[in-house]
Homo-oligomer: A and B are copies of this chain.
Amino acid sequence: MLFGELITDRVITGKQGIEELYNKSFYGRPKGDLLEISLTEAAYLILMNKIAVELEGKVLGFKEFFLKASSLVKNFELHYIVYKDMRERGYFIQPSVTGFRVYPRGGRPGKMPAEYFVYVISERAPLYLAGLKKNLDAADNLNKSLVLAIVDEDSDITYYGAKKTTPSGSYKLEWKKHLTIASLLEDRVVVWEPEASALLHDKGFFGKYIGDGYLQLSLVESGYLLKKEVFGIEKQGNGKLNFDGFSGIASEIESDFMIKFMAYEALRDSGIVPKTGFKFGSHFRVYKNFETISTITHSDYLVHAIEHDHVFSLQQLSRAVRLANSVRKEMIYAVADSDVHFIVIGRIRL
C-alpha cells in the first residue's frame, strides 16, 4: 500500500506516488521528487484502496478523511462527487482553481491540452451572470469549452455546456415608412387599417388578427415598428407618442420592457423573427428563416432576455434548458448591456 501524508490542504507522497499514481493514471501533480494530491483526488484514491493517508502518524479511514476534508475545503463534497463521476467514466481530470480541467477522450495531461473547464456548483447556489461571463472569457481565451457541473440534492450531476453565440437569420424587409397610425390600448397596440395590417402580418409576421383587418401587436413589436418609423402610435388622451414616450408607458406595463425590447431589436436587426415564447416560458421563440406567413415552420430556438447583473437560479435554468431541449430548440440568453450579446446553454453528455 502506498502511503501519503495530509499536510494542510493536500496529501503528499514520495517518489513511489509519482510512479504508481501519476505516471499510470495522472493522479496528482509531481513537485520534484514528491507527488502533491488534492483532497478530492485523495478521497477517491482512498475509496479505491490505492492510497492510505496519515495524519499525525495515524491512518485515516474514508469517513475520517472525508469529514476532515469537508471541514478544510469549501464545496469538498460537490467536487468529490463530480471528480468521481468523471474518473469512473474514464476521463483524465485535474483540479484547477475554479473546478477541473478535463482531457478529451483518449487524451491525457502533457500529451494534449485539456478540452473542458468544468465549473462545479450546487443546485442551491446562485449562478452570477458576471461570474459565468468571466469563466466563458477564460475558457474562450484558452480555446476550451466551459462546462457547468450542477450537483443536485440527490447528488446527481447534470452537465451543461455554455458558449457565446451570434444568432442570425435570413429575414430582410425594406420597410415602407409611415404606413398608418396605430392605437395603444391597455397593454397592446391595434392597427385598424386592413392594408397595413395585412402587410405587417403576412410579410413581417407581426401581431395577430383580432377581427377582419384589425391587427393586435405586442409592446415590443410596436416599439420596434415605431422606432423604425413604420407607423405612428397614439394613445387616447395622450395623442401621438414618440419612442421615448411609448417605451416609458410600456415599461410601466412590464418592468422588463427595455431589456426585452433590446433583445427583440437585436434579433430583428440580425434577420431573425421573434414571437412571444410564452408557451415555452421564455420571452421569445425565434424563426431564423421567415419568408412569408404561409411558409412558416417550427421556431428554431428560445431566447430569454436578462440584465447584465442577472443571477440565475439553477432550478430555473434547468427548467428552461430542459423545456427548450424537449421541443428540440436551443435555449439562448440575451444579455442586455450597452449592447446585446448571446449565450447558449444546453445539456451536454460528456
Contacts and interface: CB of A to CB of B under 8 A. Distances in A.
B155 A188 contact: yes
A77 B186 contact: yes
Contacts of A122: 187
Given A279-B322, A323-B322, A154 B253 contact: no
A118 interface: no
Contact of A279 (B67, B281, B318): B318
Contacts of A279: 152, 156, 158, 318, 322
B322 A280 contact: yes
Given A186-B70, A253-B124, A210 B281 contact: no
Interface residues of A, number: 61
Contact of A63 (B84, B192, B320): B192
Contacts of A124: 187, 253-254
B67 A185 contact: yes
Contacts of A322: 279-281, 323
A135 B213 CA distance: 36
B70 A208 contact: no
Contact of A210 (B75, B80, B314): B80
A208 B156 contact: yes
Contact of A156 (B75, B154, B212, B278): B278
A123 interface: yes
Contact of A153 (B154, B185, B278): B278
Contacts of A276: 123, 152-154, 156
Interface of A: 47, 62-63, 66-67, 70-71, 74-77, 80-81, 84, 122-124, 150, 152-156, 158, 183, 185-188, 190, 192, 207-208, 210-212, 214, 216, 218-220, 236, 253-254, 275-276, 278-282, 314-316, 318-320, 322-323, 326-327
Given A70-B186, A71-B236, A150-B278, 6 more contacts: A62-B211, A63-B183, A67-B185, A70-B236, A122-B187, A156-B278
